[in-house]
Amino acid sequence: MESIGVLMACPMSSYLERELDKRFKLFRFWNFPQKSEFLNEHADSIRAVVGNAFAGADAELIDSLPKLEIVSSFSVGLDKIDLNKCKEKGIRVTNTPDVLTEDVADLAIGLMLAVLRRICECDRYVRKGLWKTSGDFKLTSKFSGKSVGIIGLGRIGLAIAKRAEAFDCPISYYTRSEKPNTNYKYYPSVVELASNCQILVVACPLTPETHHIVNREVMEALGPKGVLINIGRGPHVDEKELVSALLEGRLGGAGLDVFENEPGVPEQLFGLENVVLLPHVGSGTKETRKAMADLVLGNLEAHFLKKPLLTPVV
Residues 242 and 109 in one domain: yes
Residues 80 and 139 in one domain: no
In the prediction, which pLDDT does 121 show? 97
Q: Is 267 part of a structural domain of the chain?
A: yes
| C-alpha distance from residue 310 to each of 129, 189, 236, 294, 298 (Å) | 52, 34, 28, 11, 7
Residue 27 backbone dihedrals phi, psi, to 5 degrees: -110, 125
Residues 78 and 213 in one domain: no
Q: Is 131 part of a structural domain of the chain?
A: yes
Residues 150 and 264 in one domain: yes
| Active site annotation includes 280 | yes
Identified catalytic residue from 42, 212, 250, 280: 280
Identified catalytic residue from 88, 262, 273, 287: 262
CATH of the domain at 51: 3.40.50.720
CA 222 – CA 242 distance, rounded (Å): 12
Nearest to 258 by CA among 13, 36, 65, 79: 79
Q: Is 191 part of a structural domain of the chain?
A: yes
Task: Output the CA angle 10-15-16, nearest 5 degrees.
Answer: 50
Q: Is 282 part of a structural domain of the chain?
A: no
* Torsion angle defined by CA atoms of residues 36, 3, 309 and 285, in that order, rounded to the nearest 10 degrees: -70
Residues 219 and 292 in one domain: no
Other CB atoms within 10 Å distance of the CB of residue 180: 5
pLDDT in tens, 247-274: 999 999 999 999 999 999 999 999 999 9
Q: Is 189 part of a structural domain of the chain?
A: yes
| Active site annotation includes 211 | no
Strand partners, 6: 26, 48
Q: Is 113 part of a structural domain of the chain?
A: yes
Q: Which amino acid is at 102?
A: E
Identified catalytic residue from 233, 236, 289, 303: 233
Secondary structure string (H, E, C) spanning 110-169: HHHHHHHCCHHHHHHHHHCCHHHHHCCCCCCCCCCCCCEEEECCCHHHHHHHHHHHCCCC
Residues 250 and 214 in one domain: yes
pLDDT in tens, 159-174: 999 999 999 999 999 9
User: What is the gyration radius of the CA atoms in the chain, in angstroms?
Assistant: 21
| Active site annotation includes 19 | no
Residues 111 and 216 in one domain: yes
Arithmetic mean of pLDDT over the chain: 97
pTM tops 0.75, yes or no: yes
Residues 145 and 24 in one domain: no
Residues 86 and 195 in one domain: no
Residues 85 and 106 in one domain: no
Q: Which amino acid is at 147?
A: S
Can you list the positions of beta strands (E) in the chain?
Answer: 5-8, 25-28, 46-51, 70-73, 92-94, 148-151, 171-174, 185-186, 199-202, 227-230, 253-256, 275-277
Residues 297 and 211 in one domain: no
Q: What is the extent of the structural domain holding 136?
A: 100-277
Q: Is 314 part of a structural domain of the chain?
A: no
- 303 membership: H or E segment, kind and range: helix 286-304
Residues 9 and 105 in one domain: no
pLDDT in tens, 87-107: 999 999 999 999 999 999 999
